Amino acid sequence: MTARRAVFLDRDGTLNEDTGYPSDFRQIHIYPDAFEAVRRLRRAGFVPVVVTHQSGVGRGYFDAQDLAALHARFLEEFAGHDAPLEGIYACLHAPETGLFLRQAAAGPRATGRRASSGSTPAPRSWSETSRTMSCSA
Partner 1 sequence: MVGDKPDDVLFGLNAGATPVLVLTGYGRSAAAALAARGVRPAHTASGILEAADWIVRQGGPSGHGPV
- What are the residues binding partner 1 (CB under 8 A)? 4-10, 12-15, 17-18, 31, 33-34, 36-38, 40-41, 44-47, 51, 53, 123, 125-126, 128-129, 132-134, 136-137
Minimal distance, residue 79 CB to partner 1, in Å: 17
| Amino acid at the residue 55 | S
Helix, coil or strand: residue 117: helix
Minimal distance, residue 91 CB to partner 1, in Å: 10
| 93 DSSP β-pair partners | none
Task: Provide DSSP, 67-82.
Answer: HHHHHHHHHHHHHHTT
List the one residue out of 80, 62, 71, 68 whose CA is nearest residue 21.
62
Nearer to partner 1, 17 or 63 (CB): 17
Nearer to partner 1, 102 or 115 (CB): 102
Q: Which residues are tagged catalytic?
A: 10, 12
